[in-house]
Amino acid sequence: MEQQVIIGIDIGTTSTKAVAFDSGGKALFQFAVEYPIISTRPEFAEQDPELVFTAVLSTLKTVVELVRKGEYQLQGVCFSSAMHSLIAMDENGRPLTNCIIWADARSVKQASSLKSSVIGHDIYLHTGTPLHPMSPLPKICWLREMEPDLFNRTSKFIGIKEYVFYRLYGVYRIDYSIASATGLFNIFTQKWHTDALEVAGITSEQLPEPVPPSFTFRYMDPDCASEIGVSASLPFVLGASDGCLANLGSDAVLPGDAVVTIGTSGAIRVTADKPVTDLGERIFSYILTPDKFVLGGAVNNGGIVLQWFRDNFYGSETEAARKKDEDIFSLLNAEAASIPPGADGLLFMPYLLGERSPIWNASARACFFGIHFTHTRGHFLRALMEGIIFGLYSVGNALEQTMGPVKAIYANGGFSRSDLWVQMLSDVFNVKVHLTNTTEASALGAALLGMHTLGMMEKLEDAGKLITVQRTFTPDPSAHEKYRKSYALFEKLYPNLRENLDDIQHLSGSGKPEA
């Protein structure tokens, strides 16, 4: 009898990856296709939606061929996707814009104006999406103000996953999970939020129809089905957002369980049985399923900061490592490990690319503090790695004030390959950190949701049986004490320096920021 498999596909910021899992949650085959971020102006960050759609077809086609050669029985496909994207579509179903992604900062002015208003605060309390240039609400406001002709020609405002499914099935549908990250969706009623629509200047008819993440399509465009190599009737489950599915794919579903992801950016998230918002507007509250919610915060500055430091301060070593086919990050880890916790009093405020949670200031900037004659390049590297963790810890503190203490962390993302960095996370939070049997948590989460939807798994809660902890890092009390003292100073830096950071931007010629 052929073994049943399901494909989880994750549409990400820089690539799309398809992974085939068997019914036991084991990854059998995977394939990824990369695509560029388009930045025609410093504050713009876009993708070509057609390139993303082509990547979806290509990754699926490759993995489907591998599944067929392995003589497995493909049951269906379920999707994960990055949040906060926006595409304006005309009445004929053609894009009027590129896909404006979460990293786009053009709507700083609109987000700032909303954030400082009474109606903006009320919208956050109903939608659970912090008011920031990342989300579609201020992006739509920007289009209305800055591109009125284009805005008036727009028939539908959608995201990248909705574009993919429109190309495959010819209808506009959005899952509750992606909808809950738009700033336009009421997470309590699970309908489009009237006040947010009024602020955006649009109607609900200009948005896709919201449906549960389990919503399943079965009648694909024949040409697309032929290109992928599947029957047009193969079930395609709409799925949810990448962050929410990463919690499911990490089995972080109990009170006190948190997931920390550090890839290009970073996030800390917990799962709850009801939506919760924060009067301080520091955290998000997104939908995983109609009765499961994921709360937390995302930071802009994760592994991309380490990459920046590598490229600018380890240039010759990086080139030498490439010639020898060696891993430059092994060298970086070794050098950082030679410096004691706390980096001998050197602190790094990691807002190299502005920041989302908990300060929600797209114009924030980074800085090293406490530089001394005795500090070496290794100290700066260590302080940088610690600063990224401190940034996540500040989000964790806001989350704990809302949801209660974090008791255990499940780590994933590229940083989980660094024992030093994972141990640092354990020491700062003073809790155990677990690594599970998959590094593709979002794709696995999509597959698990698909298994439940398609009857391969009786209860979604059974997903935990397919996930095992392979390694656990335990906090070092002496290191935690050093970090406790360092963090006490770290958390004062941004409030004390904010006005000066605004001034330094003005001196640099970038102008006075507005958020």
Digit-coded pLDDT (tens) for 49-93: 999 999 999 999 999 999 999 989 999 999 999 999 999 999 999
Burial of 349 (0-12, 13-18, 19+ CB in 10 A): buried
35-38 contacts at long range (C-beta below 8 A, 24 or more positions apart) = 37/13, 37/101, 37/103, 38/98
pTM of the model as a whole: 0.89
CA atoms within 13 A on the CB side of 195: 12
Contact indicator for 233, 164 with CB cutoff of 8 Å: no
Backbone phi and psi for residue 175, each to the nearest 5 degrees, phi listed first? -75, 155
Rounded to the nearest 10 degrees, the angle between the axes of helix 377-403 and helix 419-429 is 50
Please report the sign of the dihedral spanned by the C-alpha atoms of residue 253, residue 255, residue 259, residue 265. Answer: positive
Digit-coded pLDDT (tens) for 125-154: 999 999 999 999 999 999 999 999 999 999
Which single residue is written with the structure tokens 């962050």?
Answer: 243
Which single residue is written with the structure tokens 């497995």?
Answer: 72
Give the pLDDT of residue 210. Answer: 98
Q: Which is more confident, 118 or 254? A: 118
The mean pLDDT of 204-214, rounded to a whole number, is: 98
- Choose among 197, 201, 164, 495: nearest CA to 349: 495
Please report the sign of the dihedral spanned by the C-alpha atoms of residue 147, residue 150, residue 156, residue 160. Answer: negative
Measure Cα distances from 458 to 97, 217, 222, 463, 464 in Å. 42, 20, 31, 10, 12
| Residue 60 region by backbone torsions, left for phi larger than 0, else alpha for psi between -120 and 50, else beta | alpha
Q: Which is more confident, 188 or 255? A: 188
The band of 302, judged by pLDDT with boundaries at 50, 70 and 90, is very high
Digit-coded pLDDT (tens) for 412-464: 888 998 999 999 999 999 999 999 987 788 999 999 999 999 999 999 888 98
The band of 509, judged by pLDDT with boundaries at 50, 70 and 90, is low
Give the pLDDT of residue 508. Answer: 63
Backbone phi and psi for residue 156, each to the nearest 5 degrees, phi listed first? -140, 140
- DSSP 8-state symbol, 95: B
> Beta strand pairing status for 87-89 and 156-158?
antiparallel
Which single residue is written with the structure tokens 């499940």?
Answer: 410
514, pLDDT greater than 50 = no
Q: Which is more confident, 348 or 441? A: 348
513, pLDDT greater than 60 = no
Measure Cα distances from 197 to 147, 191, 446, 513 in Å. 18, 11, 29, 27
Percent of the chain's residues with pLDDT above 90: 83
Mean pLDDT across the chain = 94
The mean pLDDT of 94-98, rounded to a whole number, is: 98
Digit-coded pLDDT (tens) for 459-507: 988 898 999 999 999 999 999 999 999 999 999 999 999 888 877 776 7
Domains (range + CATH), the chain: 4-250+437-471 (3.30.420.40), 299-406+482-507 (3.30.420.40)
32, pLDDT greater than 70 = yes
